[in-house]
Every structure is written in C-alpha cells, then in structure tokens.
A = this chain, B = another copy of it.
Amino acid sequence: MIVINERSPSPIYEQIIQQIKELILRGVLLEGEKLPSVREMSGLIVVNPNTVSKAYQELERQGVIETLRGKGTFVAKQQSPRMEKERMQKFREALKQVAIEATYLGIDSAQLQKWLEEYMMELRGGTDA
C-alpha cells in the first residue's frame, strides 16, 4: 500500500507519514486498526527500521496513531479535527505557497478549486468504502 520514492527530495519518513495519513483518510486503515510493527513495515516497504520508527513517532506526536506498550501501534480513535496552532500556521503557509506557484504556472482559481475538489472527494469517498 505504501510506495517509497527514493529519488524524491522529501525524506522517506515524511513519505511514510503522508501515505499513512492518506490511507486513514481513505478508510483503508480504520480507527483502532493495528498498523504493521516497525519491523514488519520496514520489511514491507524495504526501508531502514529507524526510518519507520521515526515516522511512527511523528504520527504519534500528531495524534494520528497510538502506541500501546507491548501490544503494537494502532490508528488513533479520535481522528477528529485537531486545530493545533502550530500545525494550522504551517498549513496556511503551505496554502499560500500553492497560490503563488499556481499563479506562476498560469493556473486559475477555478482549475485549482476543481483539482482540490477532486482530491478531497477521493479522500472523503474513501471513508464510505
């Protein structure tokens, strides 16, 4: 389910984080469901265990997953909106950069909204499956 692009400029642990988030949003990973252990995951996606571990730790810090000692790692129960200030600021910043780059690429706001709609529909649609 998770595909790593070694040539990507974004670090592998970031790719893992993003893709796990996406799998949860799409409903592939359900609330309370067990994630593969660090070692399993490290074998599945052929990546150093330290890298997987780092991704899990960050996901836990963000409240996306939960680690139960000796039991394993699970998708957190409350996947409700978490409006942490820091995260929100980062998001607004990213959104602004997207607007700038879109303008440079000559993409108008209608096209942009269409694409965003599509992506978000895909993600929300996932929860029905």
Contacts and interface: CB of A to CB of B under 8 A. Distances in A.
Interface of A: 6-7, 11-12, 18, 21-22, 25, 64, 66-69, 71, 79-83, 87-88, 91-92, 94-107, 109, 112-113, 115-117, 119-120, 123-124
Chain A contact residues, majority secondary structure: helix
Contacts of A7: 66-68
B120 A104 contact: no
A95 B119 CA distance: 9
A120 B112 CA distance: 10
Most central of A64, A71, A104, A116 by chain B CB within 10 Å = A104
B88 A103 contact: no
